A and B are shown apart, each in its own frame.
Chain A
């Protein structure tokens, strides 16, 4: 029973591996953030699931909701897109935490605040991809991050336009970063492309053997 499948398209097996990697990746990302802040940052047990792209705006308060997107591409043996997206108010809380100022201090996202958020993308992206490499041996690196502030729908258009016809489902990681008594929730959306999924499937197969 449960004999490892040789089928490269075995979906549940890929999902299981993705979930496992996502959990490891988020935990490592928190460690990376702690290094950046010089303080202990922990991450709550991440909730990982696959979700149709069309349902994503609803989770974030609707397509017209103002949000911040931090976008990276994975380049290498595993290619795909990584989007860290959070409502504007949450992004400002995260900036307060990163810049170590009183909660509520950040009222707008200028260039300093945007680079702090870009750094979050950098660190989480790098640590996430490292976790993937550790889990399945596929090495890739993140592109420099791009930070944008706009409507949720408009931000997600980037993913939609790049993955149209390839990935209709995205891997969603919900996690909260905690530092002392402060907590900031964030959503990550990881969209592996088709070739990457095939590679992961292969890796899932060989790991199971």
Chain B
């Protein structure tokens, strides 16, 4: 399959209308990956957010945070010709990596990231088509710009369609 993988690193937002591009967020743990695809304009975008809410004084379009990152993702997609209400949105990640006693309180970042993702999308009136969130395992997500297919891979299991 002729494709070129474009990694979406921590706190990054990548968009593309190149049909050969596959956007990939590798090894999402507590981080959340948000994939958005406009099937009409054939524009794909992905966000790899680290924390739920933007803190004061940070870039209002920072990809590091779920709330600002989703807005920045939408803006970048629209600049490539996507229409907001045509977007198919799928989310993955937000695992709780640490289960040891004593850490739980500190490490509900995965849950908080997922809640923030749902809340931000709800505020913007954008439905979530599919999700693979929570649990205790890391995930790699791929979004194919050609077809809009999105897949999730977990260690020890195959790649599944989202």
In angstroms, Cα B100 to Cα A148, docked, is: 10
- Of A144, A161, A165, which is within 8 A of B100 by CB? A144
Assign chain A's interface to a size class. Answer: 20 to 34
- Number of A-B contacts defined by CB within 8 Å: 94
Q: Are A156 and B106 interface neighbours, CB within 8 A?
A: no
Give the number of residues in B that approach A within 8 Å (Cβ atoms). Answer: 30
SS of B interface (majority): loop
The smallest beta-carbon distance between B131 and chain A, in angstroms, is: 17
Chain A, interface SS category = mixed
Judge if A178 is at the interface, Cβ distance under 8 Å. no
B143 within 8 A of A: no
Do residues A164 and B98 form an inter-chain contact, with CB atoms below 8 A?
A: no
Q: Which of A71, A147, A153 is in CB contact (< 8 Å) with B27?
A: A153
Interface string of A129-153 (1 = CB under 8 A from B): 0000000000000011111101111
Can you spell out 23 A-B residue pairs with CB atoms less than 8 angstroms apart?
A57-B26, A63-B26, A66-B155, A71-B103, A145-B100, A151-B139, A151-B140, A153-B27, A153-B138, A154-B27, A154-B29, A154-B137, A154-B138, A155-B27, A157-B50, A157-B138, A160-B31, A161-B30, A161-B51, A161-B107, A161-B109, A164-B64, A165-B55
- Given A155-B97, A158-B98, 10 more A-B residue pairs with CB atoms under 8 Å apart are A64-B26, A144-B101, A147-B100, A148-B97, A151-B27, A154-B139, A156-B29, A162-B106, A164-B50, A164-B51
